[in-house]
Amino acid sequence: MRFDKSGLTHEQLRDQLKDALARQEASVEKAETIVLDEGDRASSDSLGAFVLELLGRMQTGRIVLVTREVPGFVLDSAEIRKQTCFVPVNKQLMLSDYARLDEKTAFLEVRALGSGRVTLNGRSIDDWDGTLPRALFYYLVDRGMTTRSQIFETFWPNLSTREATNVFHVTKRKISEVLGVDLTTYWSGFYRIASNIDLQYDVFLFTEMVQNSAIAEPEEASRLLTYALSLYQGDFLRTVEADWVKRRRQEMQQMYGEALIGLGKLMEQAGKSREALGLYVRASATNRHREDLARSIMMLYRNLGWHEDAIATYRRLESELESALGVSPAPTLQELLAEIQAETERVH
């Protein structure tokens, strides 16, 4: 069944299940599987009490709970965790079984591709006690290993070493308080991610898969690039405007564009022209001046019989090159345009 409306109480959850069972002429006691969709429409406390009530009534079988967030009541109860598994599980896609975490380590998930999101042992970290602790947290995670001088130069270039040291230690302490665990350790002149933290970072995973795809066989390369692109939920920390973030954002945008092109080429080689075209068009939004990309798009449009779209692609490139660089497309592209225009005239 799928829950309706939001902010549902325990009683409302019970009533909606009762109505669903009546429509299906079924009962909790005899059910082998009960699927509860849109579980996020209730508070964690209400949902937890409701699920525990169901478990007490079911003689055998299982409950499948579909939610967007990790249900807090599962994390809070060791007994419930023993009876729970999260699916699907895929480390490369940052899909984890929070019921089977190693209690000796802190499981830290960091998503910087987009607006930014952090979870620790399945729980969302939302209150950072200011923008500086959050920014420094992402910097330390993204660098992995960094020196104090690099940190000071990035965040407090105009402060004296003494002043920067004070601000740094106060901010680092706030990060530890927010997380409930020290993020870094200091060794041999470098701050590193602490050894008791199991870090899953979307930027590292994305980068690793894109790089590995370059030396993989086509089928494996396609899988890696598909996974990588699914992790790219937006530009790097898109709401942050610090200089180091802007530089990193540009790097990731370029890699994202290359991943789109790489997967597009694989699709084209496999004879999947429309899929390739869609990927190339998405890639063109990340670099509007690439003539080789415009050529690939024009050729695919041409092969699909969409000549007007091919011509429009050329005109957009022409406008971009003229306004940004004061140049025209290469002669080879001009020749391709002439061929497509001639074909269009013959058709008409």
pLDDT digit string, tens, across residues 272-294: 999 999 999 999 999 899 999 99
pLDDT digit string, tens, across residues 139-160: 999 999 999 999 999 999 999 9
∠ CA 140-143-147, nearest 5°, is 75
Structure tokens at 305: 């019989």
pLDDT higher for 280 or 72?
280
pLDDT digit string, tens, across residues 217-266: 999 999 999 999 999 999 999 999 999 999 999 999 999 999 999 999 99
With residue 132 as reference, give the H or E element that holds it: helix 131-143
Using DSSP bridges, classify how beta strands 33-36 and 62-65 pair: parallel, antiparallel or unpaired. parallel
Domain coordinates in residue numbering, the chain: 10-84, 91-282, 288-348
CA distance 220 to 207: 16
% of the chain with per-residue pLDDT over 90? 87
pTM score, whole prediction: 0.90
Position 347 confidence tier, pLDDT thresholds 50, 70, 90? low
38: exposed, middle or buried (C-beta count within 10 Å: 0-12, 13-18, 19+)?
middle
CATH number of 91-282, picked from 1.10.10.10, 3.10.20.440, 2.60.120.560, 3.40.50.1980: 1.10.10.10
CA distance 191 to 144: 8
The DSSP-derived string for 234-283 is SSBTTT---HHHHHHHHHHHHHHHHHHHHHHHHHHHTT-HHHHHHHHHHH
Closest CA to 114 of 230, 258, 287, 244: 230
pLDDT digit string, tens, across residues 14-62: 999 999 999 988 888 888 899 999 999 998 899 999 999 998 888 788 9
CA distance 220 to 216: 6
With residue 145 as reference, give the H or E element that holds it: strand 145-146
Q: Is the dihedral of CA 193, 190, 138, 245 positive or negative?
A: negative
Closest CA to 38 of 74, 65, 7: 65
